[in-house]
Amino acid sequence: MALTVGQGLAVAKSKAASQSVIEVPADYHAKQQPAVVVQSFMLTLMQQGGSWEDKYKRVVGMLRENTRLMAAIKNAAKIYGVDPVHIVGAIVGEHTYNLNVLDSLQTYYVKALQYAKSDALTFQYHGEHARDFFKRPQFAECEVMKNNYLRWDCRETVWNDVFAGKFVDGGIWPPTRLNRVFFNPMFSGQTFGVGQIGPVAALMVTDLVHKKSGLPLLTMDDAPLVFQQIMNPDTSLHYIAATMRVSIDNYRDIAGFDISKNAGILATLYNLGDSGTRAARLKATNDQLAKQGKPPQFPQENFYGWFINDKIAELRGLVDGARDTAAR
């Protein structure tokens, strides 16, 4: 009998806990870049932003000049126990392949206030609130997950496997990501702030962020607060760092890999999301390989993560050259 999403996550985590952890070296890096997704081609063309290399140089230049932001990145990294270069990699990757340029910090502060004051923002689709949607029986297995991140990971996986592009409960659902359907109020966008965080990504790690920094617990019932938190530069870095922390923990506890030193693998997971499900699937693959007497498959970079690993020397220099002080 095939395991459900929730059962697969639980079994993989249980098995990995009793096995040794394999370290993915910092220099583990493919020779060639995997194919770039068509959306990144289209975004660059629509924004007339030049080449990806041009966009990369612009965002790195802005980070190098913005000592306040770099100090805040180091501070957030320390709080969540991650390498600051991983946070830099997420920001650089998003503004190289998704957005055109990094807005000024002041622009983000203004936008954060605008979202916080908007009573029109709600998480719903065709009149059905997200909270009610997740009460459907298809998501029952997700509600028993003990970990908040894995609960949301399970919801996204069920959406992708059961709803997206399919005829379910009397209707056809959009063939796209959950974030674009229930968490895109007024078509305001899917990701926000310096790290281009989506509402679902923030909800996934809000418990960890609350525990580590004291920031408010986010819920589906308060969309303006969610947007305010991920748009404000002072708070959005916490959600980036927390996402990195959870990805590291998931791959250690579920898949049996220590990915904490490889910026490209972490950037890949930041770009793709759902590190719990991906770790469980890698664990299942490696269990089969082990039965066949074959070596395990390592986590792989996508085009986004490959680019970060390819630029890691410069990004490391950017971090090391920044003043090691907390943001004022």
Residues 277-315: tens digit of each pLDDT: 999 999 999 999 999 999 999 999 999 999 999 999 999
The H-assigned helical ranges of the chain are 5-17, 38-47, 52-65, 67-80, 84-97, 105-116, 130-133, 140-143, 148-158, 178-181, 199-213, 223-231, 233-250, 263-272, 275-291, 303-310, 312-321
Is 149 inside any structural domain?
no
Q: Which pLDDT band, with edges at 50, 70 and 90, does 2 fall under?
A: very low
Distance of CA 270 to the CA centre of its chain: 3
Interval 127-152 mean pLDDT = 92
CB–CB of 92/59 below 8 Å?
Answer: yes
Is 101 inside any structural domain?
yes
Is 161 inside any structural domain?
no
Share of the chain above pLDDT 90, in %: 56
Q: Quick: pLDDT tens for 152-172.
A: 999 999 999 999 999 999 999
CB–CB of 111/321 below 8 Å?
Answer: no
Is 7 inside any structural domain?
no
Tally of domains in the chain: 1
Q: Which pLDDT band, with edges at 50, 70 and 90, does 187 fall under?
A: very low
Give me the amino acid identity at 151: R
How confident is the model at residue 77, as a pLDDT? 97
Give me the amino acid identity at 128: E
Is 112 inside any structural domain?
yes
Is 49 inside any structural domain?
yes
Share of the chain above pLDDT 70, in %: 79
Is 29 inside any structural domain?
yes
Q: Quick: pLDDT tens for 70-122.
A: 999 999 999 999 999 999 999 999 888 876 555 555 565 555 555 555 666 78
Which residues have CB under 8 Å from 58's CB, separation 6+?
Answer: 95, 101, 102
d(CA 183, CA 171): 19
Domain carrying residue 309: 21-118+193-321
Is 124 inside any structural domain?
no
Q: Is residue 11 pLDDT above 80, yes or no?
A: no
